[in-house]
């Protein structure tokens, strides 16, 4: 099993992110990119036109069917086996497991396309909403929640929809109420240059967000979130409907504990948790 190198462990603790190069093959990048174009046309969870901030609604298709336009789709697992298998792809999941420990769940999946436009200036936030933003664990603690962001588009220069971070901001108070708000152009923000197939790991408490995209084409990403077992998933209210397409490890990651829910579930892990999570077993036919 691959583990973080000493250098990666230090960078994770100090800067609050890891940039893994070329973890997806060009073929996988093409497949996911085509899938995003396809699922834009079909029903799914899309930003709610009239719901509360950050909530999604089940809509017939994305608001704009142009593949280069903005899109934000949640709960990707049902759309293709590749979305299921990405949740525990060994070359990334081994590192996530090393960071989070074995008592973890997949909490969210998302595909975002950032259109090329002068209008969108980017923004900066933490994940996990109002509560988690004020919880900063120590350098040696496991995170409560973290994210794997897969780039499906090259972002070789600034302002191409780059993932933008404030390094180290997971460890210190952040002027979240500043006026004007801090954003991708504020001194201290770093626009990461990357290539399609790269993956960036970071905890939810790191201040981050998309930068502007003036590249002339849409920028696609996939986002896979993980949380400690007791935190619970926030993409599904109950265990999702893809269980018959999952390996035992994937079933556990989406919240199937092997028995019906009862008080105590997700509080203490099932007795075979470590064995199941350490084992990338085959799918039963
Ligand atoms: O790059 C994006 O479009 C959004 C990434 C982001 O802000 C996030 O993962 O929370």
Substitution candidate for ligand 1 out of 69, 112, 193 with most atoms within 8 A of CB: 112
**pLDDT given at position 284:** 64
- The average pLDDT across 18-47 equals 98
Q: 249-280: per-residue pLDDT in tens?
A: 999 999 999 999 999 999 999 999 999 999 99
Distance 285 CA to ligand 1 centre (A): 36
99, 102, 126, 253 from 129: Cα distances, Å? 21, 24, 7, 22
Average pLDDT, the chain: 95
CA of 113 to the centre of ligand 1 (A): 10
Q: Which element (helix H / strand E) includes 94?
A: helix 90-100
Is residue 130 scored above 90 in pLDDT? no
Calpha distance 244→285 (Å, rounded): 10
Binned at pLDDT 50, 70 and 90, residue 237 comes out as confident
User: Distance (Å, rounded) from C-alpha 196 to C-alpha 284?
Assistant: 32
Q: In which region does residue 179 sit, left (phi positive, over 0), alpha (psi from -120 to 50) or beta (all else)?
A: beta
What's this model's pTM, rounded to 2 decimal places?
0.97
Cα dihedral across residues 201, 203, 205, 206: positive or negative:
negative
Helix (H, G, I), strand (E, B) or coil at 193: coil
* Best of 17, 163, 189, 191 for a ligand 1 pocket test (most atoms within 8 Å of beta carbon): 163
Q: 74 CA to middle of ligand 1, Å?
A: 13
Q: How far apart are CA 151 and CA 145, in angstroms?
A: 20
d(CA 55, CA 163): 22
CA-proximal residue: ligand 1, atom 7 (nearest): 209
- Range 227-251 burial, b when 16+ CB lie within 10 A, else e: bbbebebbbbeeebebeeebbbbbb
* Cα 163 to ligand 1 centre (Å): 7
Of all protein residues, whose CA lies closest to atom 6 belonging to ligand 1? 209
- The pLDDT of residue 285 is 56
Question: Residues with beta carbon inside 6 Å of ligand 1?
Answer: 112, 114, 127, 147, 149, 163, 208-210, 221, 223
pLDDT class for 14, splitting at 50, 70, 90?
A: very high
Cα angle: 163, vertex 110, 63; to 5 degrees: 100
pLDDT tens column, 150-185 = 999 999 999 999 999 999 999 998 888 899 889 999
Contacts of 106 (CB under 8 A, 6+ apart): 87, 224, 225, 226, 233, 253, 254
132 pLDDT band, cuts 50/70/90, is confident
Q: Which atom of ligand 1 is nearest to the CA of 208?
A: 7
CA of 222 to the centre of ligand 1 (A): 9
Give residue 134's pLDDT: 86
Pocket test for ligand 1, best of 73, 200, 221 (most atoms within 8 A of CB): 221
pLDDT at residue 123 in the model = 95
Q: Which of 249, 207, 199 is nearest to 224 (CA)?
A: 199
Q: Whose CA is nearest to atom 3 of ligand 1?
A: 210
For residues 46 and 57, what is the distance between their CA atoms, to the nearest angstrom? 5
221 C-alpha to center of ligand 1: Å?
A: 8
Whether residue 232 contacts residue 266, with contact meaning beta carbons closer than 8 Å, is answered with yes
């Amino acid at each position: 099993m691959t583990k973080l190198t000493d250098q990666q462990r230090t960078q994770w603790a100090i800067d609050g992110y890891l940039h893994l190069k070329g973890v997806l093959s060009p073929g996988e990048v093409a497949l996911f990119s085509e899938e995003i174009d396809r699922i834009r046309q079909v029903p799914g969870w899309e930003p709610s036109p009239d719901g509360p901030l950050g909530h999604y609604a089940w809509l017939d298709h994305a608001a704009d069917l142009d593949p280069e336009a903005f899109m934000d789709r949640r709960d990707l697992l049902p759309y293709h086996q590749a979305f299921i298998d990405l949740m525990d792809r060994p070359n990334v999941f081994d590192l996530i497991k090393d960071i989070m420990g074995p008592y973890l769940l997949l909490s969210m999946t998302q595909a975002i396309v950032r259109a090329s436009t002068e209008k969108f200036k980017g923004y900066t936030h933490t994940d996990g909403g109002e509560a988690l933003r004020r919880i900063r664990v120590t350098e040696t603690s496991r995170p409560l929640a973290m994210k794997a962001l897969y780039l499906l588009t090259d972002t070789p220069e600034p302002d191409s929809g780059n993932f933008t971070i404030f390094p180290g901001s997971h460890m210190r108070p952040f002027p979240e109420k500043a006026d004007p708000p801090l954003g991708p152009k504020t001194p201290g923000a770093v626009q990461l240059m990357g290539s399609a197939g790269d993956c960036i790991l970071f905890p939810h408490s790191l201040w981050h967000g998309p930068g502007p995209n003036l590249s002339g084409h849409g920028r696609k990403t996939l986002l896979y979130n993980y949380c400690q077992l007791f935190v619970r998933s926030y993409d599904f209210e109950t265990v999702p409907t893809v269980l018959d397409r999952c390996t035992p490890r994937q079933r556990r990651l989406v919240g199937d504990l092997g028995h019906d829910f009862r008080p105590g579930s997700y509080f203490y892990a099932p007795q075979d948790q470590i064995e199941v999570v350490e084992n990338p077993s085959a799918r039963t036919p």
